[in-house]
Structure 1
Amino acid sequence: MSDDRLLYTRQVRLPEVGEAGQARLAASTAPLGGAGFARTIEAKYLERAGLTTATSGTPASVEVASLGLRNEAAREVGEGALRALAAIRNVLLGDPR
């Protein structure tokens, strides 16, 4: 089994992802949005899911205010995580947003 397959074994076992979904993730590039720590979190989530990150393009839109987080650092983590999850969802569902 290749190193990449071992790395994403848990994701591939998820019915929502599977082999085909992981292949789409690996073939996709997601633009980074946000700034600072939020951008760092977003990049880590995307790269660990198997996507390539880019500094240009239109990032996934997220509604961070709805998180209800009062601490600035927590908001940044939430923003980065939401942007990454939105991008992953878009790749898996074929949604061009």
Structure 2
Amino acid sequence: MIPVSKAEVQKPQNNVYPEGMYKVGRDIAPGEYKVVSTGGDSYLEVTKDSTGGFNSIITNDNFQGEKYITVGANQYIKLNGCVLKSK
């Protein structure tokens, strides 16, 4: 693990962010995004910090297919089995 301040800023590849965790306002801009399952069940989580604690969760969802999510500055978004499409 490394501190966020020392982590490389993540950039989309072909307008797609692969599964992982991203800080809004640093790795991705605040706004609305399309989230697409990469097959089977997918998990999406938006949190107020990066601790991974239950009390940090703002919203989460198990889903298939695609959905839209809105994220705000300084939140974190975690993608598992899905990708985030930027504009």
Question: TM-score normalised to the size of structure 1?
Answer: 0.24
Considering fraction of residues, name the structure with more helix.
Answer: 1
Report the TM-score when normalising by structure 2.
0.25
Q: Which has the higher strand share?
A: 2
Rg (Cα) greater in structure: 1
